[in-house]
Amino acid sequence: MGNSTIDFEKEINTLNARGIEINYYFICKTKLFLFMNNIGLEKNHENVKLGKLLHENRYNSSNKNKEVIIDKIAIDFINIKDEYIEIHEVKKSDKMEVADYYQIIYYMYYLKKLGINSKGVINYPNQNKKKEIELNNEYIGKITSIIKEIEEIRNSNNIIPPTKKKYCKKCAYYEFCFS
Ligand code: SF4
């Protein structure tokens, strides 16, 4: 399936982002900054708990469907096909569809660097909906520049000032940003 071990070592060391960071990049860069700096209010937030519950009930009840952790990425579950692996993410709703797309694009890009071909599926069980996605050159170009920008945010000491968005009230950092 593709690249050599030497390629892996060289390429993979440049990929520090976690999938959730790619997701937050699209949702809110303040949130991304806070998360990266371990200002962790997320764990006990209701929306986060709901997501975990959904996940456990619908997708992790059989041995086939286990979270797969590969270095810095954690894929919700995978199905192994003949020529590629199918990687799955499970989301509560499709309200943040672009963020969800790029999270799974990042996983496919990461796996490609490991020499593994993959295709992505985003599952929205509450809406009985699935979206399939394949890595292409356009996505590779975009994810490369997003990764670069995320690393700039990681290396910065300056908090990104919060700006109000329609979903701020559901965010675990709301009090932090606006009280
Ligand atoms: S409350 Fe709003 S501005 Fe603050 S981190 Fe959350 S989404 Fe971003």
* Ligand 1 nearest-atom number relative to CA 172: 6
Q: Determine phi and psi for 177, rounding to 5 degrees.
A: -80, -35
Mean pLDDT of the chain: 84
Q: State the burial class of residue 4 (Cβ atoms within 10 Å of its Cβ: 0-12, 13-18, 19+).
A: exposed
Q: Enumerate domains of the chain plus CATH numbers.
A: 5-178 (3.90.320.10)
Strand partners, 121: 88, 132
Q: Which of 55-59, 60-64, 75-79, 169-173 has the lowest mean pLDDT?
A: 60-64
| pLDDT tens readout for residues 82-117 | 999 999 999 999 999 999 999 999 999 999 988 899
Give the global pTM: 0.81
Q: Name the residue of 173, 175, 176, 178 to mutate for ligand 1: max ligand atoms within 8 A of Cβ.
A: 173
